Amino acid sequence: MKFLRDLVDNVKPTFSEGGKLSFLHSTFDAIETFLFVPNHPTKSGAHIRDGIDLKRTMFIVVIALIPALLFGMWNLGFQFHKATGVEASLFENFWFGFLQTLPLIIVSYGVGLGIEMAFAQFKGHPVNEGFLVSGLLIPMVMPADVPLWMVGLATAFAVVIGKEVFGGTGMNLLNPALTARMFLYIGYTPEMSGEKCWVPIADGINTVDGYSGATTLGNVGVAAAGGTEWSESLFSWKTSMLESIIGTIPGSIGETSVIAILLGAAFLIATGVGSWKIMLSTVLGALFMGGILNMVGGNAWYDMPAWYHLIIGGFMFGTVFMTTDPVSAAQTDRGKWIYGFFIGLLTVLIRVYNPGYPEGIMMAILLMNVFAPLIDYFVVQSNIKMRLKRVKA
């Protein structure tokens, strides 16, 4: 430890102002503070401070993502080998998925952190930790077959247009990871949806009979448009509800396993880092809207039991990891309930009424991101009105 500290102290002048590599000052600072909590004591105000800081908070979210990430890697191999009819061990499945996913993660972190550090250096502020989470979220919401350059482009767009133009971490209106996905979805729709993108099967490789990479969302969408009635056979590739919960179905890398995501959710709630209020109200919103549609009935979407909305598509992943982003969510207590409820409600509405794109949670979250400040505004107004009323009384 002493050795490491000496090493850092030795190279510090090179990166400080006037040093040879001073243009990398922000980068050096980020690495130094990652290794060592700085030795600057408090200057003003409270002399003692809580142990928590943003690094720890963000790291907690990264840990919460690990189960879904590891499962997603394994599932990728599992889907591939199942589709091509090859017997594969647990490790072979995982290794296949790992090799597919790692480049995505490297590109996402490389491009994102590179831009963050450049901005930090240019604007003279420290590098914020927010991208530690965004950088992992971005590959996890991508289809496995997405080209690397697209991931890089989307990440750059998300960081620059989604975040830095608003003033950086803490100021952004939209969730950066979803901004990246939305960018690709609108710009490169064929690569981001349909049947082919979820499992990376190169052209010329034969698949087993009956294979279809379509997701449950896609199937139900087609059935609803074509007048087919709801039945459990609409689950992706004729899997069961249980498989949907376990997550052995095609989908974006991190989104498929409800169990792995709920593990993350439990960790986020136990540590107090993720807002259980938002998660719960999102689920309630989806059940509420799904319940109304069940009562109306009519086509496959209407008749699908409301709670199935929770286990198909990206609903759980979005609910646990995207809605709870504190910066783009509503910030007031009451606001959080309203914000989550509408995300759930809109997710189901978009799924059911938008034939073009079956997955609703991404758009619902981004839409509510935009409305979050308005929700907060009304909550704050109620506090103001309470105070004004007191004057009159």
Partner 1 sequence: MGKVIKITRGKDISLVGEASNEIVSVASPSTFAIKPTDFKGLIPKLAVKEGDEVKAGDCLFTDKRNSSICFTSPVSGEIAEIVRGDRRAIQEIKILADSNTSYKSFSTIGFESKTRDEVKSLMLEAGLWPFIVQRPFGLIADTDIVPKAIHVSGFDSAPLAADLGITLKGEEASLKAGFDVLKKLTDGKVHLNVHSSKDKSIYSAVEGVELNTFSGPHPSGLVGVQINKIDPINKGDVVWTVKPQHVAFIGKFFLSGNLNLEQKVVLAGSEVKKPAYYSTCLGVNLSALLNGNIKDNVRVISGNVLTGSKLSADGYLGFFDNQITVIPEGNEYELLGWLFPSYPRPTISSTFPISKFLKKKFKVNTNPHGEPRAFVVTGEYEKVMPMDIMPQQLIKAVMAKDLELMENLGIYEVIEEDMALCEFVCTSKIDVQRVLSEGLELMSEES
Q: Contact residues for partner 1 (CB under 8 A)?
A: 1, 4-5, 33-57, 59-60, 126, 128-130, 167-171, 270-273, 275, 326-327, 329, 331-333, 336, 376, 380, 383-384, 386-388, 390-391
Instruction: Write the burial class of residue 371 (CB in 10 Å: 0-12 exposed, 13-18 middle, 19+ buried).
Output: middle
The angle that helices 54-84 and 258-270 make with each other, rounded to 10 degrees, is 170
Coil, helix or strand for 229?
coil
CA atoms within 13 A on the CB side of 193: 21
CB atoms within 10 A of CB 194: 14
Q: How far is the CB of 30 from partner 1 (least distance, A)?
A: 10
Residue whose CB is less far from partner 1, 61 or 350: 61
DSSP 393: -
Residue whose CB is less far from partner 1, 184 or 329: 329
Residue whose CB is less far from partner 1, 104 or 327: 327
Q: How far is the CB of 116 from partner 1 (least distance, A)?
A: 13
Q: How far is the CB of 228 from partner 1 (least distance, A)?
A: 45
Residue whose CB is less far from partner 1, 4 or 186: 4
Identity (one letter) of the amino acid at 10? N
Q: How far is the CB of 125 from partner 1 (least distance, A)?
A: 9
Q: How far is the CB of 261 from partner 1 (least distance, A)?
A: 20
Tokens (6 digits) for 83: 């589709």
Q: How far is the CB of 313 from partner 1 (least distance, A)?
A: 27
What φ, ψ does residue 47 adopt, rounded to 5°? -75, -25
| Four-residue CA torsion sign, 376, 165, 180, 221 | positive
Residue whose CB is less far from partner 1, 1 or 202: 1
Residue whose CB is less far from partner 1, 213 or 335: 335
Whether 177 and 137 have beta carbons less than 8 Å apart is answered as: yes
Q: How far is the CB of 351 from partner 1 (least distance, A)?
A: 29
**Which residues make Cβ contacts (< 8 Å) with residue 285, sequence separation at least 6?**
340, 341, 342, 343, 344, 345, 346, 347, 348
Q: How far is the CB of 65 from partner 1 (least distance, A)?
A: 15
Q: How far is the CB of 376 from partner 1 (least distance, A)?
A: 8
Contacts 24+ apart (CB under 8 A), 341-344: 341/281, 341/282, 341/284, 341/285, 341/288, 342/285, 342/368, 342/371, 343/282, 343/285, 343/318, 343/319, 343/368, 344/281, 344/282, 344/283, 344/284, 344/285, 344/286, 344/287, 344/288, 344/289, 344/319
